[in-house]
Amino acid sequence: MDKKLTILTGDRPTGPLHIGHYVGSLRSRVELQQKGGYDRMFVFVADAQALTDNTDNPEKVRQNIIEVALDYLGVGLDPEKVTFFIQSQIPELTELTFYFMNMVTVERLQRNPTVKSEMVMRGFKSGLGETENDNRPGMPVGFFTYPISQAADITLFKATTVPVGADQKPMLEQTAEIVRRFNGIYGDVLVEPEIMLPSNEACFRLPGTDGKAKMSKSLGNCIYLSDKAEDVKKKVMSMYTDPLHVNVSDPGHIEGNTVFTYLDAFCRPEHFPAYWSEFSSLEELKEAYKKGGIGDVKCKRFLERILFELLEPIRQRRAEYEKDIPAVYEILRKGTEAAREVGAATMDEVRRAMKINYFEDGALIKEQAEKYAAKHK
């Protein structure tokens, strides 16, 4: 089997992308693009997956496809180097998902930690044993099986590397299980992918500005890549810090302090001479904060300057692409056509391996013809 270095990753279009997406995956994508050394990189808009829990609001998904595409272009992903595509426009993904469903049990999906946490976050019922007076909605089957859909996304394009946040690790493990089972039954057709996590542990799961465990569009605790400078300032200044740090002189706590978690994710040594020359490193700032004498407002202003430096070039690039939206859709259209060619080739291999390419299987047709000819002699 010809194993090329292929990168694949994507995002749900349920709103514009935020800085959690950036440190969790987008930054890695741009770094990989600049580094080169890969055969192909696919970055897709997962609209079909978004519809699994937004089926009653398709307009939300439809409107946000362009938002996600603009964010991709804004962070610096280059359509000359990256193949962009829209998930729902690749019907081969649906076909492969259907075949994979026969390889995964309900019990295995129920054990998936990502599925469990998403069920809680969206308020879905947790199982068949719920009480009759429970008003929580049941989970759509499509949403329940989205780990299988993700496996199809990855394997249809024979991705070898998938840059994602830590919360997606169980999904990659499930994909690897499916690949091993499929190849064990049908032969070496699919490629087992490797996960690429952020090198900085603080980026694994960036908390929301309110200190909640996860930055989430549905929780309203995000800083978006497209936010204006004044919006970023307002959100940073309202960030959850240390509730015990009432006075500047009070000793501060780093653990659970959202501002310092964000500094861990975004701060670099060169930011200190530029924005806070009193300190030479983040560790030095942390030690001073823990001793007391450093106010939360100063820390927030430092973070605000760092985020402005990061986000302003992204906003400017995004604004240029916003001037020609039809051209952005053309990028998506061309990329989708190119992706479908790759996906169709993989599906040809899958069908041959599964022996369901009936009309192309000359040996089968000949065998059956001879069988029934002998019957009538």
Summarised one tens digit per residue, pLDDT across range 139-192 is 889 999 999 999 999 999 999 999 887 778 899 999 999 999 999 999 999 999
pLDDT at residue 180, rounded to an integer: 97
Q: Is the pLDDT confidence value at 231 over 90?
A: yes
Q: Which long-range contacts does 221-224 make (Cβ < 8 Å, 24+ apart)?
A: 222/18, 222/19, 222/20, 223/18, 223/19, 223/307, 224/15, 224/16, 224/17, 224/18, 224/19
Hey, is 115 helix, strand or coil? helix
Angle at 325 between CA 69 and CA 312, to 5 degrees: 60
End-to-end CA distance of the chain: 44
Instruction: Find, among 244, 257, 249, 264, the residue nearest to 295 by Cα.
Output: 249
Residues 111-135 pLDDT 10s: 888 888 877 777 777 654 555 456 6
Q: Is the pLDDT confidence value at 202 over 80?
A: no
pLDDT at residue 124, rounded to an integer: 79
Write down the mean pLDDT value for the chain.
Answer: 91
Confidence of residue 3 (pLDDT cuts 50, 70, 90): low
CA distance 330 to 318: 16
Confidence of residue 2 (pLDDT cuts 50, 70, 90): very low
For the ranges 2-6, 46-50, 63-67, 254-258, which has the lowest average pLDDT? 2-6
Q: How many CB atoms lie within 10 A of CB 29?
A: 21
Q: What is the pTM of this model?
A: 0.90
